[in-house]
Chains A and B, each alone.
Chain A
Amino acid sequence: MAASRTASRITQALIVAIVVGLLALLVTTTAGHLQQRGIRSGFDFLLEPAGFTLGESLLPVEASDSTLRAFAAGLLNTLRVALPGAFLATLIGVLAGFGRLTENPLIRGLASAYVNAFRNIPLLLQLLAWYFLLTDLLPATDAALRLAPGIFLSKSGLALPWWVDGALEIPEPGGFGIDGGARLTPEYLAMLLGLSLYSAAYIAETLRGAVEALPPGQRLSALALGMTPRQAFVLVLLPQAWRAALPPVTSQLLNLFKNASLAVAIGYPDLVSVAGTSLNQTGRAIECLTIVIAVYLLLSLLAAALSHRLEQRALRGQTA
């Protein structure tokens, strides 16, 4: 036994030596390349002026502001599209999931057509289509569609009533397009629609699977107890299915966060596209990508912790 323990120690030491050796080789090669190209390394560039502005941002960024501020604005943009996206995806996913479980063949057909189409076309292709529809096919700003009083849709985005200085400001068509209120850009709308409809199709499928995986006796006994099919669904099937569906649904929502990085393809300035721009400006590829990877790992860890707590709570609900 002692001999095998020594052998295992030697193997592990060898593995460590190989990994450290490879890393050292990697670091020296990389350092050599950086020196040849005259690229300095380090995170000091974060405090220097960014030298670029963002197409849109909750946190205003001037070219003279620090790169760190640009990264923060990028992260905020990611959250600005991913959080409402997660909410919409859950809502649409639950509705479509129910749709696939109803007795009405029309509704069932409609819901399965939706799930089938949106799951089997790449998200990037869907985002490009939304962006094309929102920019090329909509009327120009001076001929904006009036969806409802104070809500206008045009090539330049969606104008909505919004609180400005404590009062609700309603957009009005003005001399140069639409004045007042808040505006959502076509890039943002394409991301929001694309992300939420794509994830919702997966969530719908998960929910359907969870309900169908329940033993058929559950539904039959509920019906035998005199419940209507709808009562049986809402009071008996749904609470049980929800627990089984919780982990896969959280993982779908985490995917939505990761998929927000596709923003770079249609020019919405999320974290990854800010990192890409900064990388091109400064040449600090290692630093910029390290930040992106670190932020996403942190988000994954947070999501894992959150989902663990939700599952614990769901389990407590079961025993109570």
Chain B
Amino acid sequence: MTLVNLRRRFFGDGLNTALTLLVLAAVALGLPPLLNWAVINARFAPDAAACEALDHSGACWGVVVEKAHFILLGRYPADEAWRPLLAAGLIIGSWLAAAFGWLRGGKLASALFAAPLLALPLLGGGFAGLTDIPTELWGGLPLTLLLTSAGMAGALPLGIAVAYGRRSALPVLRGLLTGYVELARGIPLVAALFVASFLLPLFFPDGVAVDMLWRVLIAIVLFAAAYLSEIVRGGLQAFPAGQLDAALALGFNRWQTQRWIVLPQVLRDVAPSLANSAIALFKDTSLVTIVSLYELTGSLGLALAGDPQWRPFYLEAWLFIATIYWLGCALLARVSQRLG
């Protein structure tokens, strides 16, 4: 880039010059106090007295150290911490495998489905000497990851089935499924979670009590499946008809054509959109705190709300959580790009 070019880009005309100067002034004024607060005056040790003495002239990152277990794992028993950590590791591992191309095709799909299926018994226990930990105590980052990955793993097969159902020759089936998809897409997730919290218990037969976690997971799967079915349906509609004729000519029957020719290609085509849906779901899992499940966002409140000593440093703990969400979204965005 030449000097003339640089000059045009920063000071091309009056408006451009004014904006450049404005941004530079803002940085010059804002950066030193920000650095002072975040690094120079900040305390990194979990020392409440030293933090209070700062009077917010510096950040108290010690709050993250002090409350690490609560924020990251919620109310999960501390001496069993390896289980949620391993569960989170499995799920993050499967995402990393997708983002960096360690696994491909069928193996990748199996890993993405297997991770939440392994995480569930690991968190729950009650077998092979693992203590039984009730779902009310699950929380923090592992719960966020579990709701996202199990939600996607449950919603994708259902979404595919719904997408095929909406292309069926039976008007009644099409009508019912269209109604379901429009209903789920028309309401906010909060409303679906209220249904899971207050209505689902009324629908189950006598004597069947289902934990809030499972009810919320049912709601998330039904909610996400409606969006995924639209993505898959779009992929099916865009599928070139010539390949169907070719399959027929090769002697494939209808089922074989879909199983071996259409579906693998359609799923590969829509994979980036599916990964984008996973990003949306990852962020949306934060809403389950409204129905008292303490995933990452909920456990932040849980860790600080009742503790007057550390509550003033909410902002520092908030920034820690926000960074985790940001990294999760960035990882899934990479998955989306990689699959594209």
Binding site for B on A (CB under 8 A): 8, 11-12, 15-16, 19, 26, 29-30, 32-34, 102-107, 110, 117, 119-125, 128-129, 132-133, 136-137, 258-259, 261-262, 264-265, 272, 275-276, 279, 285-286, 289, 292-293, 296-297, 300-301
Overall SS of chain B's interface? helix
A272 to B195, CA, bound (A): 12
Given known contacts A103-B12, A296-B187, A285 and B170 CB-to-CB distance under 8 angstroms: no
Could you mark each residue 272-290 of chain B with 1 if its beta carbon is under 8 Å from any beta carbon of chain A, else 0?
0000000100011011011
- Determine the chain B residues whose CB is within 8 A of the CB of A259 once the complex forms: 188
Q: Which 8 pairs, one residue from A and one from B, show the smallest C-beta to C-beta distance?
A: A120-B329, A258-B188, A285-B198, A300-B186, A122-B286, A122-B283, A261-B188, A261-B190
Q: Are A11 and B170 in contact (CB under 8 A)?
A: yes
8 Å CB contacts to A: which residues of B204-252? Answer: 204-206
Min CB gap A24→B, angstroms: 13
* Interface residue from B9, B191, B301 paired with A105 (Cβ < 8 Å): B9
* Interface residue from B189, B289, B330 paired with A120 (Cβ < 8 Å): B330
8 Å CB contacts to A: which residues of B166-190? Answer: 169-173, 176, 182-183, 185-190
- Determine the chain A residues whose CB is within 8 A of the CB of B188 once the complex forms: 258-259, 261, 272, 296
Q: Are A132 and B187 in contact (CB under 8 A)?
A: no
* Interface residue from A8, A34, A136, A276 paired with B169 (Cβ < 8 Å): A8
Q: Are B9 and A103 in contact (CB under 8 A)?
A: yes
Smallest Cβ-Cβ distance to A37: which chain B residue = B202
- Determine the chain B residues whose CB is within 8 A of the CB of A120 once the complex forms: 279, 283, 325-326, 329-330, 333
A292 to B9, CA, bound (A): 51
Given known contacts A11-B170, A121-B325, A264-B190, A129 and B20 CB-to-CB distance under 8 angstroms: no
A285 to B197, CA, bound (A): 10
Min CB gap A28→B, angstroms: 10
Smallest Cβ-Cβ distance to A33: which chain B residue = B202
- Give the B interface residue count (CB, 8 A): 55
Given known contacts A15-B172, A265-B290, A104 and B16 CB-to-CB distance under 8 angstroms: yes
Q: Are B314 and A136 in contact (CB under 8 A)?
A: yes
- Determine the chain A residues whose CB is within 8 A of the CB of B187 once the complex forms: 258, 292-293, 296-297
A121 to B296, CA, bound (A): 12
- Determine the chain A residues whose CB is within 8 A of the CB of B198 once the complex forms: 279, 285, 289
Residue B113 at the A interface, CB < 8 A?
Answer: no
- Determine the chain B residues whose CB is within 8 A of the CB of A261 once the complex forms: 188, 190-191
A-B contact count (CB 8 A): 145
Q: Are B24 and A106 in contact (CB under 8 A)?
A: yes
Q: Which one, B75-83, B122-130, B254-262, B315-323, is touching chain A?
A: B315-323
A19 to B172, CA, bound (A): 11
Residue B203 at the A interface, CB < 8 A?
Answer: yes
- Determine the chain B residues whose CB is within 8 A of the CB of A117 once the complex forms: 326
* Interface residue from A15, A33, A122, A293 paired with B191 (Cβ < 8 Å): A293
Smallest Cβ-Cβ distance to B185: which chain A residue = A300
Min CB gap A138→B, angstroms: 13
Q: Are A297 and B297 in contact (CB under 8 A)?
A: no
* Interface residue from B186, B202, B321 paired with A29 (Cβ < 8 Å): B202
Q: Are A29 and B20 in contact (CB under 8 A)?
A: no
Q: Are B170 and A293 in contact (CB under 8 A)?
A: no
- Determine the chain A residues whose CB is within 8 A of the CB of B176 once the complex forms: 15, 19
Smallest Cβ-Cβ distance to B333: which chain A residue = A120
Smallest Cβ-Cβ distance to A284: which chain B residue = B198
A105 to B244, CA, bound (A): 49
Residue B19 at the A interface, CB < 8 A?
Answer: yes
Q: Are A125 and B325 in contact (CB under 8 A)?
A: yes
**A33-B201, A262-B290, A265-B289 given. 13 additional CB < 8 A pairs?**
A29-B205, A29-B206, A32-B206, A34-B202, A104-B19, A120-B333, A121-B322, A124-B297, A128-B318, A258-B188, A264-B190, A272-B194, A301-B186
A22 to B253, CA, bound (A): 33
Q: Are A106 and B23 in contact (CB under 8 A)?
A: yes
Residue B268 at the A interface, CB < 8 A?
Answer: no
Min CB gap A69→B, angstroms: 21
Residue B50 at the A interface, CB < 8 A?
Answer: no
Q: Are A272 and B283 in contact (CB under 8 A)?
A: no
Given known contacts A124-B287, A289-B191, A293-B191, A26 and B203 CB-to-CB distance under 8 angstroms: yes
8 Å CB contacts to A: which residues of B3-33? Answer: 8-10, 12, 16, 19-20, 23-24
Residue B199 at the A interface, CB < 8 A?
Answer: yes
A19 to B173, CA, bound (A): 10
* Interface residue from A104, A106, A125 paired with B321 (Cβ < 8 Å): A125
Min CB gap A270→B, angstroms: 10
Given known contacts A125-B286, A297-B183, A292 and B170 CB-to-CB distance under 8 angstroms: no
A300 to B183, CA, bound (A): 10
Q: Are A106 and B286 in contact (CB under 8 A)?
A: no
8 Å CB contacts to A: which residues of B282-340? Answer: 283-284, 286-287, 289-290, 297, 300-301, 312, 314-315, 318, 321-322, 325-326, 329-330, 333
A136 to B56, CA, bound (A): 12
- Determine the chain A residues whose CB is within 8 A of the CB of B286 once the complex forms: 122-125
- Determine the chain B residues whose CB is within 8 A of the CB of A11 once the complex forms: 170
Q: Are A276 and B289 in contact (CB under 8 A)?
A: no
Min CB gap B229→A, angstroms: 17
- Determine the chain B residues whose CB is within 8 A of the CB of A125 once the complex forms: 286, 297, 318, 321-322, 325
Given known contacts A104-B20, A117-B326, A125-B321, A276 and B194 CB-to-CB distance under 8 angstroms: yes
- Determine the chain A residues whose CB is within 8 A of the CB of B289 once the complex forms: 124, 265
A84 to B185, CA, bound (A): 23
Q: Are A30 and B190 in contact (CB under 8 A)?
A: no
